[in-house]
Amino acid sequence: MNKIKLLFLIVSSRRNKLHRSSVKCRITLNSKRKEFSTGLFINPDCWNAKKQKVEPSEDSTYVNQQLSLVKNNLYQAFLFLQVSGESFTVEDVYSRYKGETTTNEKQVLETYREYLARIERLIGKDLQLVTYKKYQESYKHLADFIKWKHKRQDIQIKSLKEAFLDDYSYFLKTEKNMAQSTLNKAIQRFRKVVNYAISADYLSKDPFLLFKYKTVRKEVIFLTVDELQKLENHHFQIARIEKVKDLFIFCCYTGLAYKEMALLKKEDVVIEFDDNLWLKIHRSKTKKAYKIPLLPKALEIIDNYKDEDEVLVFKNISNQRFNGYLKEIADVVGITKKLTHHMARKTFASTVLLYNNVPMEIVSALLGHSSIRTTEASYGKIVQRSISKEINRIKNINQ
């Protein structure tokens, strides 16, 4: 059990111009000491160390009252920290006495700023700048919520309860007009800050341990076999439109995201153990390196543009312009779906792989997912459709 000792000391060797000495206070807690000046000065000849008081003199009543006040305030600070149930140090007692934040009384936004400063140093190493900016944006949302809900600039991190996230979710949905998926991301980022607070001993346990996110499963939109063939068979007279179509089809057969396609170098096309050409990919989103075997259609497209650039497989085109051209392509070809580059990746996973009975674990590997759960969450329904298709085929055989 924590025990505190208070002792007032006189620095008799040092006196001011009025020949008075400073009164110091020493706090002792678990064999650790903290000394500070009380701001009081007395005649050292009038000090009774045993009774811890000034003997009757000109200003003894006032000084003794002030020393008593210091002692009472220190005991109150000590009792407050004891009741909090958290471990604390002698420095925490002094900080509480001074009205300052102790190590166990960190504020929510203060801790978030600490976390931001920590991950800022990882930009370009383990973190992308765009991800860091999203954390900054989420910090602003959290600050707005605390002001909206608590009418304060910040709150103690120890005051966090499970209801906090429920209220925060409500705020993001009603005041910020966020969709559930965007809202979940903001809360996930805050949860990482809370985990940091736990690791730094600002919190003893996770206040949101039982909190559950409202899951959002977006329907996977992809090109069917017929739509993909329709696109492949159409030739555009305008070269830049034809190229965008080809690059989109290339990604339908490789599953590359836009950035991976745009940065693909000729040196990334390698001969592997099976004597076939593969793509050596470093997925920027997950920092995962993986390889993709090149299907004939993808190889054909690479060959068509082999003389375009000395280093890159395909000469760069901006993502915005790329998706703009895809809209024109869809209109001309007669595809009613909103064509975006990301749909090529979905088409690769669905139409090219899963509909051809490629196992889910292989699909996950070829997409560069960090976990097969990610793949299952997005493409589980497509597998169900394939199963249904095969069952119906068997039924027709047996009839």
Cα 353–chain centre separation: 32
What is the per-residue pLDDT for 377? 65
Within 10 A of 294 (CB to CB), how many other CB atoms are there? 19
Q: Picking from 119-128, 158-167, 224-233, 382-391, which range would have the lowest pLDDT averaged per residue?
A: 382-391
Q: Which residues pair with 288 in a beta bridge?
A: 283
What's the pLDDT tens digit per position in 225-238? 999 999 999 999 99
Q: Where along the chain do the CATH 1.10.443.10 domains lie?
A: 225-398
Residues near 22 by beta carbon (within 8 Å), at least 6 away in sequence: 10, 11, 14, 37, 38, 40, 41
Q: Residue 63 — φ and ψ, nearest 5°?
A: -65, -45
- What's residue 188's pLDDT? 94
Task: Assign a CATH topology to domain 108-199.
Answer: DNA polymerase; domain 1 (1.10.150)
- In this prediction, residue 278 carries a pLDDT of 94
pLDDT in tens, 377-392: 667 666 666 666 666 6
Measuring CA to CA, which residue among 253, 261, 162 is closest to residue 211?
A: 162
pLDDT surpasses 60 at 1 = no
* 8 A C-beta contact, residue 194 and residue 209: no
Q: How far apart are CA 393 and CA 8, in angstroms?
A: 92
- Closest listed residue to residue 9, CA positions, set 47, 45, 56, 66: 47
Place of tokens 């000034």: 54
CA 47 vs CA 14, 53, 55, 70: distances in Å: 14, 6, 6, 17
Contact status, residue 8 vs residue 24, Cβ threshold 8 Å = yes
Output the pLDDT for position 141. 97
Six token digits for residue 186: 């903001």
Q: What is the DSSP string of 211-224?
A: -------PPPP---
- Which CATH number among 3.40.50.300, 1.10.443.10, 3.40.50.880, 1.10.10.10 corresponds to the domain 225-398? 1.10.443.10
Give the mean pLDDT of 341-345: 92
SS3 (DSSP) at 270: strand
pLDDT tens readout for residues 17-35: 778 899 999 999 988 899 9
Check residue 230 and give its pLDDT. Answer: 94
Q: Identify the band that residue 364 occupies on the pLDDT scale cut at 50, 70 and 90.
A: confident
pLDDT level of residue 85 (50, 70, 90 thresholds): low
Amino acid letter for position 360: M
CB 30 within 8 A of CB 19: no
3-state percent breakdown (helix, strand, coil) of the chain, nearest 5: 55, 15, 35
Q: Which pTM does this prediction carry?
A: 0.56
Helix (H) or strand (E) holding 113: helix 108-120
**Neighbouring C-beta atoms of residue 263, cutoff 10 Å:** 16
What residue ranges of the chain are covered by domains with CATH 1.10.150? 108-199
- Could you tell me if 375 and 390 are in contact, meaning their C-beta atoms sit under 8 angstroms apart? no
**Number of other CB atoms surrounding residue 207 within 10 Å:** 20
* Sign for the pseudo-dihedral over CA of 368, 373, 378, 382: positive
